[in-house]
Structure 1
Amino acid sequence: MNNNENQTLISGGTVVTPTTEIEKGTVAFSNGKIVSVEAESHDNPDIDATGKYVLPGLVDLHGDDIERHLFPRAEERVDTTIALDRCDIANASAGVTTKYHAISFEDVPDDNRSIELARRLAEQIRNFNYETGARVDNRLHMRCELTNEASVDAVSEEIKSGGDLVSLVTHVPGTGQFTGENTLAQRYDRSDGELETGLQSLKTRRSGVPEAELLARAREVTELASNRNMTVASHDDETVASVDNAAAIGVDISEYPLSHRVAQRATELNLTVAMGAPNVVRGGSLWDGPDASQAIKDGVVDILCSDFRPQSLLSSVFIENDEPLKDRVFRVSTAPAAAAGLYDRGRLECGARADIIIVDPDPSPSIARTYVAGDQVYCSA
């Protein structure tokens, strides 16, 4: 293999492909695409990855972390342009090369989520690309709260304007993650009269929509998205019946199913099952959901999402679970890319987009370099 000015060689590290792990392998890329993956090292590579891992860029289908950049503290609000740029930097440094920002379209009492803010973010995410200074491929994941007619209307309009993924959300107090007396209130930082009044209004609104109407709204949004080749997920599926309904209307992904049995049913129905990487890293769910590590062992998890912590995707890869490393990498790269219909990335193979990360394993796994379409967008040194 000859190195030349038109191609870049990364050599000497452990190269992980969808099918194998190559010790001291070489990845060559040119003009934004991988041109070869070789089971041999090169004497004079452009990047010496000896002692490191060479992986495909991570694909995150659900990341709420933009909210932490918008609202670093309860009373502090950062400009949306600045917040998106900071979030972009954080994801590049975490090895995420394709990012689906999960934006909630609903008005909630603490004002940190609103339809107006969601619309502004949606427009900015659509326009945030390489030409406008983005480092990673930023994409729009629209979270549609089916109990809120205004949310359904807003998401339906945004679908027409373009987007990448829609999730159907039904957060009804007393069900799912909101079982118990105070769990809805615990999602908000303040405890004053204004918030309590807003929460009561929210509970009344969410609880007052008949099941048949929720299903009709879900079908409407799914059909609209599917007609535009947009992936659709159902969020926080609580029962086997809810998964059955989701599959029947054409949903593609069961996102964060709330029990092992529900995840199993989604798998039986050939839905892609997504759980949280923080769950794997932490060793369990924050909200009494299924243990993702155990669900992986039982074969009912296809992909992991960062949820609110992009660094968790890489961390999950290096948590031993008796699987080959390539299978753990597959779950955060190839599989989510395929679930979203992005067959040009998420794998180290000839012809794939050159989204590549180099991981330094010591003292703990961290990103040394990130490439998006062959361009270096992050370097730790």
Structure 2
Amino acid sequence: MFDATDAPEYRLTDARIVTGDDVIHGSVTVAEGRIVAIGAPDAPGLPMGGDYLIPGLVDLHTDHVETHVFPRNGVVWAPAPSLAAHDGVVVAGGVTTVFDSLCVGAAMGGEARRALLAPLMEALERGRAGGQYRAEHLVHLRCEICDPETEALVRQVIGQPSVRLVSVMDHTPGDRQCLDVDAWVQESARDMKISVQESRALTEALIERSGRVGPGVRQAVIAEARARDIPVMSHDDRTVAHVDEALAEGVMVSEFPTTLEAARRAREVGQAVLMGAPNYVRGGSQSGNVAVRELLDHGLVDVLASDYVPGSLLSASFAMAEDAELGLSLPEAIAMVSRRPARIVGLDDRGEIAEGLRADMVRVRRAEGHGHVGAVWREGRRVF
């Protein structure tokens, strides 16, 4: 069926357009995949019925693809159909640029993840080259520094054209995300279907290994990224010392700091603070760490990422703007999930509805407290 927005030039009219600093009643003219004009609401074109028109969302961290790759414990799905399914969920949430966050290495176990990394990357590159995806898929390598195999895995895939972001993380219990070692032992025993005694032995070995190999792996990963001018984020910083370590390494993004202290220090030293949208939507961290709402109250959040729920970006941005106590305008909230993340990774051609930028746009209708995605355009072409 022909869609009028498939034409080389078209206009969307009668829309509440969320620009970089305002919400205006107007129209947007698109030509050759770019926004060429913002005009009067009654200009001839395709009527939006007063719905919101926001920029396509930019998601710097989602590991949602794992939901499709590992649909059930012990089951591994083929990479290509997993990516296709993930793509459908992403674009339905209004995301037009997604950084698929692929885990490189593992804290405990993880043999399937290590083995699947290269095939998943190969399938993603084939899909990108073949124009198979509706959203633009780029890659964020989440590098587990407590795994001695991480360094070799990074070198195997970091040269792929889709790799545009790297983070360094250490999920060893007792520090950063999980302070409660006993809780980790119990949860690992359940997840891995082993005894508590076996889980405790593996955990003790992990703690020893992390202290022994972690610093070297971290430095090697950061060096590989910097050699290619790929931005690096430091994951789960908990203390001032963690932030200062990342700063000394040239890292300028604090991803998911777990305490107010770490987020405040990141802001003091000029690092951007990236937090998870599900944390805000749920009303707190699933791990018991600092709540996004608390950081917002202190003005310490720059960017939101979907983490594990692609639709959470849209939900969080509108909810933040409607929370009178936060004092955020809708353009400010939308910027946290569009323009700001785009700028962090050097994508200056998107993230805002403005003349000359890519026509990545989302039609949103608010109903019953939710944002319903009615249409999505990527580079001017309707993809949802």
| TM-score, length basis structure 2 | 0.90
Aligned residues: 372
CA distance in 1, matches of 2:216, 2:209: 15
Residues 122-141 of structure 1 show CA distances to partners (whole Å, capped at 9, x for unaligned) of 22223322734111100111
AA matched with 1:244? D
Corresponding residue for 1:31?
32
Aligned partner letter, 2:166: V
Unaligned 5+ residue runs, structure 2? none
**Is 1:21–1:326's contact at 8 Å kept on the other side of the alignment?**
yes
1:187 CA displacement: 5.7
What CA distance in whole angstroms lies between the structure 1 residues aligned with 2:119 and 2:207? 24
Does residue 19 (structure 1) correspond to residue 21 (structure 2)? The answer is yes
Q: CA contact under 8 A between 1:108 and 1:202: conserved in structure 2?
A: no
1:360 alignment partner, one of 355, 360, 365: 365
Aligned with 1:279: secondary structure?
helix
Question: Are 2:337 and 1:332 aligned?
Answer: yes
1:89-129 Cα distance to aligned partner (Å, 9 max, x none): 11111100001111111246565852111222122223322
The answer to whether the 8 A contact 1:280-1:293 is kept is: yes
Spell out, residue by residue over 1:49-77, the C-alpha distance to the aligned partner (whole angstroms, 9 max, x if none).
12311000000000010011122222433
Alignment CA distance shift 1:195-1:310 (3 Å)? farther
AA at the equivalent of 1:330? A
Deviations 1:242-270 (A, max 9, x none): 11110111112110001011001111111
One-letter amino acid of the counterpart of residue 280, structure 1: Y
Q: Distance in 2 between matches of 1:298 and 1:216?
A: 35
Q: Which residue of 1 aligns with 2:254?
A: 254
Does the C-alpha gap of structure 1 residues 148 and 54 become closer, same or farther in structure 2, counting only changes over 3 Å? same
CA pair 243-76 structure 1, distance change in 2 beyond 3 A: same
Judged with a 3 Å threshold, the aligned counterparts in structure 2 of structure 1 residues 209 and 193 are, in CA distance, closer, same or farther, namely: closer
Contact kept, 8 Å, 1:369 with 1:376, in 2: the verdict is yes
Gaps of 5+ in 1: none
Change (3 A) 1:20 1:220: same
Name the SS for the 1:128 alignment partner: helix
Identical-residue share of aligned pairs (%): 30
* Aligned counterparts, 1:224-239, within 5 A: 224-239=224-239
Task: Give 1:203 deviation, angstroms.
Answer: 4.3
Specify which of 354, 371, 376 is matched with residue 382 of structure 2.
Answer: 376
Code of the residue aligned with 1:368 in structure 2: it is: G
8 Å contact kept, 2:280–2:316: yes
Alignment of 1:118-267 (within 5 A): 118-129=117-128, 131-162=130-161, 163-180=163-180, 181-183=182-184, 185-186=186-187, 189-190=190-191, 192-193=193-194, 197=198, 200-201=201-202, 203-210=204-211, 214-267=214-267
Give, in angstroms, the shift of residue 227 of structure 1. Answer: 2.1
**Residues 1:199 and 1:129: Cα distance change in structure 2 (over 3 Å):** farther
CA contact (8 A) 2:365 2:373 kept: yes
Q: Aligned equivalents of 1:188 and 1:26: distance in 2?
A: 56
Counterpart in the other structure of 1:343: 348
Aligned residue for 2:11? 9
For the residues of structure 2 that align with 1:197 and 1:74, how far apart are their CA atoms? 19
Q: Aligned equivalents of 1:130 and 1:148: distance in 2?
A: 31
TM-score by length of structure 1 reads 0.91
Q: Distance in 2 between matches of 1:231 and 1:286?
A: 27
CA contact (8 A) 1:109 1:198 kept: no
Matches of 1:128 and 1:184, distance apart in 2: 39
For residues 175-234 of structure 1, give each alpha carbon's deviation from its aligned partner in whole angstroms, at most 9, with x where no partner exists: 2222221225426754633796467335413433437x5334323322221221211111
Q: Does 2:328 align with 1:323?
A: yes
Shift in alpha-carbon separation, 1:206–1:144, aligned structure 2, 3 A: farther
- Say which SS state the counterpart of residue 149 (structure 2) adopts: helix
CA contact (8 A) 2:189 2:195 kept: no
Q: Distance in 1 between matches of 2:341 and 2:172?
A: 28
The one-letter amino acid paired with 1:35 is: V
State how far apart, in whole Å, the 2-side matches of 1:281 and 1:260 are: 18
Structure 1 stretch displaced more, 178-187 or 264-273: 178-187
Cα separation, 2, equivalents of 1:109 and 1:228: 29
Residues 361 and 246 from structure 1, CA distance in 2 versus in 1: closer, same or farther, beyond 3 angstroms?
Answer: same
Judge conservation of contact 1:106–1:151 (CA < 8 Å) in 2.
yes
Contact 2:56 2:362 in 1 (8 A): yes
Are 2:293 and 1:293 equivalent residues in the alignment?
yes
CA 1:209–1:328: 2 relative to 1, 3 Å: same
Structure 2 residue identity aligned to 1:337: A
Give the distance between the partners of 1:111 and 1:216, measured in 2 at CA. 20
Corresponding residue for residue 72 of structure 1: 71
Greater shift in the superposed pair: 215-224 or 91-100:
215-224
Residues 5, 365 of structure 1: alpha-carbon distance in 2 compared, 3 angstrom cutoff: closer
- Counterpart position of 1:51: 50
Amino acid at match of 2:117: A
Partner SS for 2:159: helix
